[in-house]
Amino acid sequence: MNKSLNKFVSPIDGSELLLVGDSLVDKSGNSFPILNGIPRFVELENYSSSFGFQWNEYDKTQVDEHSKNTISRDRFYRSTKWTYESLNGAKILEVGSGSGRFSQVMLEAGADLYSFDYSNAVEANASNNGDYENLTLCQASVYDIPFRKQYFDKVFCLGVIQHTPDVELSFARMLQCLKPGGEIAIDVYADTLKTKFYTKYWFRPITKKINKKRLLTLIRWYVPKWIPISTVLLNIPVVGKFLAQIIPICNYSKQFPDLSKDQLKEWAILDTFDMLSPEYDNPQKYSTLKSWIKKYDLDLVYLGRGDNGFVLIARKKVCAE
């Protein structure tokens, strides 16, 4: 991991970086520290700190290698519609790595993976995947990506873009890194009429302000008590899923029946915290995503429902000479 520091460029002026002591320095004199072997291009504490907290607390939960299932692998291939063979040797940018659940899928396929997260969740990713020689990892912002423009064959962002302050700007900055002819794949929470009834949006104005350790303690207390009730509601025909959403917990008992009881509880606690703690939660309308295809002159590969809301896959056009 990060054996070749010359893969990074300055997120400020795009210049090459020199290794000076334990920092990378650009031509303008801006210095970026390397902590625990990971270059840091942003402040360690920022609006995404809740994600750093959760992924370092639950660093193994959703990583297939440790949970002994293929949930992350299946979601990755289902959402991107890429094939195992297409990843081998491809330069891929992962925006928002979390603990590295999807990183591992690509690394095992032989991708030349460049991955970053705005939070210190990169430390969890390093713990899980740091032994892979084909991983380049850093802590950075999607608005100031420390890699070369038009460099990547593929760019993807799953479960992240809705948690940035400006979702469209995040998408536009990712596109800058994509080669002509390359593909971008994202998923984002759906903004529909049903969204108005999701109780997480009723509670988030309060819960996102609670101290993260205190909030996690609260969630660890109430989630196990409410899972049985939520499960009963989920099993009611037609209206069950809607009724279950009244209770602010994530319950995967029907979605992932092969998880053990302890795993279901752990996933429920983790994703309930993920649901209630972020600073930003910006679902997007189908029409908004569709408008980006024309605005950014992309070829549409797929736009529709996915595991996490809407999935958008598009190809950057190759300009004629």
- What is the pLDDT confidence band of residue 6, given thresholds at 50, 70 and 90? confident
Give the residue-averaged pLDDT of 285-313.
Answer: 97
Placement of tokens 């979702």 in the chain? 167
C-alpha to C-alpha distance for 69 and 281, rounded to whole angstroms: 28
Nearest residue to 86 (alpha-carbon basis) of 255, 301, 272, 293 = 301
Percent of the chain with pLDDT over 70: 98
240-259 mean pLDDT: 87
Helix boundaries (H) for 81-211 = 84-87, 101-108, 122-129, 167-176, 200-207
Q: How far apart are CA 268 and CA 218, in angstroms?
A: 13
The pLDDT confidence band at residue 13, using thresholds 50, 70 and 90, is very high
Give the pLDDT score at 241.
Answer: 80
DSSP letters, 216-259, are HHHHHHHHHHHHHHHHHHHTSTTTHHHHHTTS-S---TTT-TTS
Global pTM reads: 0.94
Q: Which position has the higher pLDDT, 110 or 246?
A: 110
Q: Where are the domains of the chain?
A: 5-190+283-316, 193-276
Taking residues 288-314, what's their average pLDDT?
97
Q: How far apart are CA 109 and CA 153, in angstroms?
A: 15
- For residue 98, what pLDDT is reported? 96
pLDDT at position 194 is 81
pLDDT over 90 (residue 206): yes
Residue 268, SS3? helix
Fold of 5-190+283-316: Rossmann fold (3.40.50)
Per-residue pLDDT at 2: 54
Query: pLDDT tens, 59-90?
Result: 999 999 999 999 999 999 999 999 999 999 99
Q: What tokens were used for 126?
A: 């390093």
Q: What is the DSSP string of 98-133?
A: TTSHHHHHHHHTT-EEEEEESSTTHHHHHHHHTT-T
pLDDT score for 243? 79
The H or E element that residue 24 is part of is: strand 23-25
Distance CA 250, CA 167 (A): 24
Mean pLDDT of 24-37: 96
The confidence score (pLDDT) of residue 192 equals 92
Question: Could you give the C-alpha distances from 182 to 23, 48, 236, 239, 278, in angstroms and in order?
Answer: 32, 28, 44, 42, 31
**116, 97 Cβ separation under 8 angstroms:** yes
Reference 82, options 315, 292, 297, 317; nearest CA is 315
The 10 Å CB-count burial string (b at 16+, else e) for 160-180 is bbbbbeebbebbebbbebbbe
> Given this model, what pLDDT does residue 319 score?
76
Backbone angles phi, psi at 203, to 5 degrees: -90, -30
Could you tell me the pLDDT band of residue 3, with boundaries at 50, 70 and 90?
low
Least confident of 2-16, 69-83, 203-217, 249-263: 2-16
